């Protein structure tokens, strides 16, 4: 069974009434409900020791979900490096919403990961542009969200290895809102929905995508390739 | 000097008053004006002998522009094959607007090239999602068109080698409206604007993109690789 | 359970002693052994009525394997079109070895699919260049084949959506020998090994790759997107 | 005229006789000869103040070439960040040979950029797998180098945006030896040849590729997109 760890900054929920109301136990607990039916789930948050991401926890994690926003800078560089190494080793990583600006995502992308944004209470439509991909299995042509924060292009990322969703917003912005990246032995999925005051993680299609992505990002059985001085191997 | 041939179906202009008014000499003549300042230009149309695309014309063409719509089926398969071979040999090909459904584009893509469409007189905004690309040089963040036909996802093409533009429409559709493909020694650019009753080819940014694309799609000096039985070559 | 149909030209086996010795029941039967442990398997061959690929057979096929060589031209265009449509609808397609020159592969790619080749009884090493991909699960860094036909670059295909293997040959040729393509709702995997007089389909790693590829190419539950005139849908 | 800055670590040349003999004035001076006929050229080296890469120098650089090997760690992080920002702003970057392990390349890639290597005085053949690309204009099917260090897969980089060369080595290794990446407004080209004791930078085809790459990586006239809070813009 795939072992999922859900990491949440868990700050908005403690101070902002609208967020408390939307996610009374924290965004991580709602996400745990979303993926807990199919996978073995743990949670971890910023204010725990080592942010809850000890060597042991990461070693026992197949796929890590990441939600952060106002405290990206408080994430310790040593922990970021530890997560980075685990991704290259094969751990899947699902970066949600404002996690686009996390240290770990920026480190993996090599770019600023910046974008345009606007919190206006308006809707979003995420178009499926990759119909054969397992991440969109069962999702159909698009996902409608009554309210989602606008994230607009240019999104300063490398061209994704696989582009899955493109979002449309009423202000005529567009956004590459579902993107797959492969780095080392690891698979990464960026998924845009999840503003803290909106109900995106209660949406069934969003939930389906996150479950599909867990399955997709899970490591294969290959270990890391050999690197370094190589005397060669005789052909068999 | 890059030698451009502009191919136009040239049917709407003969029968539809709105089109006549917009493009009195034909869409090809307006396109000739667009690229004629920088490149050597010829035109060719469906009703000419061999559709104006003789062996000689194609041999002397570095980049071919293609506009077609209501008469795709009237294009002779032998001419389609001839263009196909020239593209693989290195000739650039710029497919405009409803040319997405031309025989040559479908043959090069291997898919239906189908899409959603709606002619509603509304606007389009084309977002530049590839800011380092020469095709968008001087174009800035987006192109606004007051009126353009809606083309919506899913666009049934292979994932483009380079995604350049994504369009937003007021109906909340999106579209991969600028796409680069490499096939054989040839470079292909699909560009969405150009509905026959709207003034897209008078738009300066659209004109800039088309000129940039001519430059980008022009062949390099490489000839086709060798194919077939290969005895190998000694390392020098 | 994934339903696999294995298509084989089945001509060499009837006339060539070396091939008879290697694959006494035909290449399709050896492939049936390879994938039959995990999946529901049927076979079909060129000389059957409709080449064994009736509407019914294809409708009930999730993944089609394709081996052909000397009789590509005998495959009926109507059947090629039927397979093409099923791939775009979502059926997986695994093209083996000299199937690179089949009508169906060329139609899906839009290019000549030509290459360099040499049958010299020498070895091949296929390097895994995509370690996070499910197709190489359990395969490790490379596959060694004592004997395989040399296929060399330039391979005239579109850049694959995912490059999985690169082969090295003693003559200092290289080849993109494992390539994933997505077309419509379908996933396609090209895999180089399988010259009719060599024992590649008895190699355990080759067998593992083919099984992984069946899993990977199987359709998801999505139906084809809507195409055509679109009045739009209200945001929910 | 494109302004090129050539950065060289310039250490081997001071201590190793074989390198002194091969590149008496330093690798940077040989590279300056290579690109100096077509472009405006400056050089910069590790032991200069700010490694020769002051704000002013970088601001006036369109394309930066980078050669480093034994002293990657001595490159100041502040300078690495400065180069990184300039690349995202649009400066081209050409990473040569052992520069694959430089801080700047690893920062831009987000991976270890590790590989297999062997210095055995044997040959390399670089196959052109992207015949329509301007970087290979005039280069033909392959480049033969009598001696080049073996760099072998797996090369721990993101899948390149454009794969240009694949190398073959006598030990049956392969390597993605010419790779284009786009990051922010910048274009990056990694090119494998250039071991310090071999004569690769005297090879005419290698020289042609480097010149082509300078042309390709030069910035376009677009400035960086707007990022941050966005009130939107009315459709015109």
CATH code, domain with C86: 3.40.50.880
- Rounded to whole angstroms, how far apart are CA atoms C164 and C134? 10
- Rounded to whole angstroms, how far apart are CA atoms B89 and D154? 33
In sequence order, what DSSP letters do the residues of D104-120 get, joined into one string?
HHHHHHSS----EEE--
Task: Write the pLDDT tens digit of every residue in D136-151.
Answer: 999 999 999 999 999 9
Cα–Cα nearest to D225, from A115, B201, B194, B83: A115
pLDDT band for position D236 (cuts 50, 70, 90): low
Edge-to-edge strands, sheet with D174-183: D40-45, D3-8, D63-67, D92-96, D186-191, D174-183, D162-168, D124-128, D142-145
How many beta carbons lie within 10 A of that of residue A204, not counting itself?
11
Given a contact cutoff of 8 angstroms between Cβ atoms, the answer to whether A194 and D82 are in contact is no
DSSP 8-state assignment for residue B138? T
Spatial CB neighbours of C212, under 8 Å, sequence gap ≥ 6? C134, C135, C136, C137, C138, C139
Q: Which domain holds residue C93?
A: 3-110+177-217
CB–CB contact A163 B159 (8 Å): yes
State the ipTM, two decimals. Answer: 0.97
D73-D76-D82-D85 Cα dihedral, nearest 10 degrees: 30
Given a contact cutoff of 8 angstroms between Cβ atoms, the answer to whether B28 and B48 are in contact is no
Rounded to a whole number, what is the distance in angstroms from the first to the last CA of chain A?
36
Token pair listed for D154: 């797996």
Residue D88 φ/ψ, nearest 5 degrees: -65, -30
Spatial CB neighbours of C232, under 8 Å, sequence gap ≥ 6? B118, B171, B172, B173
CB–CB contact B125 A168 (8 Å): no
Q: Tell me whether residue A127 is in a domain.
A: no
DSSP 8-state assignment for residue A223? P
Q: Tell me whether residue B133 is in a domain.
A: no
- Mean of all residue pLDDT scores within chain A: 97
What percent of chain C has pLDDT above 70?
A: 99
- CA dihedral for D65, D70, D73, D76, sign (positive or negative): negative
Place of tokens 């991969």: B176
Residue of D nearest to A88 (CA): D111
CA geometry: angle D9, D15, D17, nearest 5 deg = 115
Helix axis angle, B204-217 to B27-36, nearest 10°: 70
Average pLDDT for D72-85: 98
pLDDT band for position C233 (cuts 50, 70, 90): confident
CB–CB contact B90 D182 (8 Å): no
CB–CB contact A172 B170 (8 Å): yes
Whether cis (ω within 30° of 0) applies to the bond prior to D107 is no
Token pair listed for C26: 């035909």
- Mean of all residue pLDDT scores within chain C: 97
Say if residue B233's pLDDT is above 90: no
Indicate the helix (H) or strand (E) that contains B65.
strand B63-67
Spatial CB neighbours of D158, under 8 Å, sequence gap ≥ 6? A158, A161, A181, A182, A183, D109, D110, D111, D181
Q: What is the structure's pLDDT at A234?
A: 79
Chains adjacent to A (≥3 CB pairs closer than 8 angstroms): B, C, D
- Rounded to whole angstroms, how far apart are CA atoms A65 and A83? 11
Q: What is the structure's pLDDT at A236?
A: 62
CB–CB contact D133 B220 (8 Å): yes
Given a contact cutoff of 8 angstroms between Cβ atoms, the answer to whether D166 and D71 are in contact is no
Number of separate domains in chain D? 1
- Rounded to whole angstroms, how far apart are CA atoms C49 and C104? 18
Average pLDDT for A154-177: 98
- How far B168 CA lies from chain A's nearest CA (Å)? 6
Q: Where are the alpha helices (DSSP H) in B118-228?
A: 204-217
Token pair listed for D58: 């970088």
Residue of C nearest to A170 (CA): C235
In sequence order, what DSSP letters do the residues of C61-86 get, joined into one string?
-SEEEEE--TTGGGS-HHHHHHHHHH
- How far D52 CA lies from chain C's nearest CA (Å)? 37
Q: Tell me whether residue B138 is in a domain.
A: no
D111, D117, D172: residue with CB nearest A183:
D111
- CA dihedral for A136, A138, A142, A144, sign (positive or negative): negative
Spatial CB neighbours of D6, under 8 Å, sequence gap ≥ 6? D28, D31, D32, D35, D41, D42, D43, D44, D64, D65, D67
Whether cis (ω within 30° of 0) applies to the bond prior to C159 is no
Average pLDDT for A155-182: 98
Helix axis angle, D204-217 to D27-36, nearest 10°: 70
CB–CB contact D158 A118 (8 Å): no
State how far Cα C22 lies from the chain centre: 20
Say if residue A235's pLDDT is above 80: no
Token pair listed for A222: 């290959």
Q: Tell me whether residue D144 is in a domain.
A: no
Q: Tell me whether residue B130 is in a domain.
A: no
A136, A220, A235: residue with CB nearest C222:
A136
CB–CB contact C222 A140 (8 Å): yes
Given a contact cutoff of 8 angstroms between Cβ atoms, the answer to whether C131 and C166 are in contact is no
- How far B176 CA lies from chain A's nearest CA (Å)? 9
What percent of chain D has pLDDT above 70?
A: 99
Given a contact cutoff of 8 angstroms between Cβ atoms, the answer to whether A148 and A211 are in contact is no
How many beta carbons lie within 10 A of that of residue A72, not counting itself?
19
Q: Tell me whether residue B182 is in a domain.
A: yes
**CB-based contact (8 Å) between B133 and chain A?**
no
pLDDT band for position A37 (cuts 50, 70, 90): very high
Burial bucket for residue B17 (CB in 10 Å: 0-12, 13-18, 19+):
exposed
Helix/strand/coil for C202: helix
Helix/strand/coil for C217: helix
Q: How many residues does chain B have?
A: 236
Distances (CA, A) of C77 to B80, C67, C74, C188: 18, 17, 9, 19
C153, C163, C166: residue with CB nearest D159:
C163
Contact pairs from chain A to chain D, CB under 8 Å:
92
- How far D31 CA lies from chain B's nearest CA (Å)? 23
Distances (CA, A) of C125 to A197, A221, C164: 54, 21, 13
CB–CB contact B132 D221 (8 Å): no
Q: What is the structure's pLDDT at C234?
A: 79
Q: Tell me whether residue B15 is in a domain.
A: yes
Q: Are strands B186-191 and B174-183 parallel, antiparallel or unpaired?
A: antiparallel
Residue B208 φ/ψ, nearest 5 degrees: -60, -45
- Rounded to whole angstroms, how far apart are CA atoms D164 and D213? 11
Q: Tell me whether residue A119 is in a domain.
A: no
Say if residue B105's pLDDT is above 70: yes
Given a contact cutoff of 8 angstroms between Cβ atoms, the answer to whether D91 and D219 are in contact is yes
Say if residue B236's pLDDT is above 80: no
Token pair listed for A81: 């490096």
Token pair listed for A83: 């997560």
B115, B118, B229: residue with CB nearest C118:
B229
- Mean of all residue pLDDT scores within chain B: 97
Say if residue B163's pLDDT is above 80: yes
Say if residue B53's pLDDT is above 90: yes
- How far A154 CA lies from chain B's nearest CA (Å)? 6
Lowest mean pLDDT among C84-98, C202-216, D179-193, D220-234: D220-234
Given a contact cutoff of 8 angstroms between Cβ atoms, the answer to whether A98 and A105 are in contact is no
DSSP β-bridge partners for residue B65? B6, B94
Token pair listed for A121: 């209470």
Q: Is C124 left (phi over 0), alpha (psi -120 to 50) or beta?
A: beta
- How far A79 CA lies from chain B's nearest CA (Å)? 32
Which residues from chain D sit within 8 angstroms of residue B122, using beta carbons?
Answer: none
Which residues from chain D sit within 8 angstroms of residue A184, using beta carbons?
Answer: 111-112, 156
CA geometry: angle A220, A225, A229, nearest 5 deg = 175
**CB-based contact (8 Å) between B160 and chain D?**
no
Q: What is the structure's pLDDT at D222?
A: 84
Say if residue C236's pLDDT is above 80: no
- Rounded to whole angstroms, how far apart are CA atoms C26 and C9? 9
Say if residue C222's pLDDT is above 90: no
């Amino acid at each position: 069974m795939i072992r999922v760890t859900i990491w949440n900054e868990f700050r908005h929920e403690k101070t902002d009434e609208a967020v408390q109301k939307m996610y009374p136990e924290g965004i991580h607990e709602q996400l745990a409900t979303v993926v807990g039916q199919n996978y073995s789930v743990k949670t971890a948050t910023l204010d725990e020791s080592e942010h809850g991401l000890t060597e042991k926890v990461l070693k026992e994690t197949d796929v890590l979900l990441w939600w952060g926003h106002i405290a990206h800078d408080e994430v310790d560089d040593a922990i970021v490096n530890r997560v980075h190494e685990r991704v290259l080793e094969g751990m899947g990583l699902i970066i949600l919403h404002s996690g686009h600006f996390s240290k770990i995502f920026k480190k993996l992308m090599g770019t600023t990961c910046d974008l345009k944004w606007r919190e206006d209470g308006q809707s979003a439509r995420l178009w499926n542009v990759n119909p054969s991909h397992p991440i969109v299995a069962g999702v159909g042509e698009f996902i409608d969200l009554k309210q989602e924060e606008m994230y607009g292009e240019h999104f300063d990322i490398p061209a994704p290895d696989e582009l899955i969703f493109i979002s449309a917003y009423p202000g005529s912005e567009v956004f590459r809102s579902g993107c797959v990246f492969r780095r080392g032995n690891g698979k990464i999925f960026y998924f845009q929905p999840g503003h803290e005051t909106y109900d995106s993680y209660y949406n069934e299609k969003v939930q389906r995508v996150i479950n599909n992505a867990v399955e997709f990002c899970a490591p294969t059985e290959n270990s890391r390739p050999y690197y370094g001085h190589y005397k060669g191997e005789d052909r068999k």
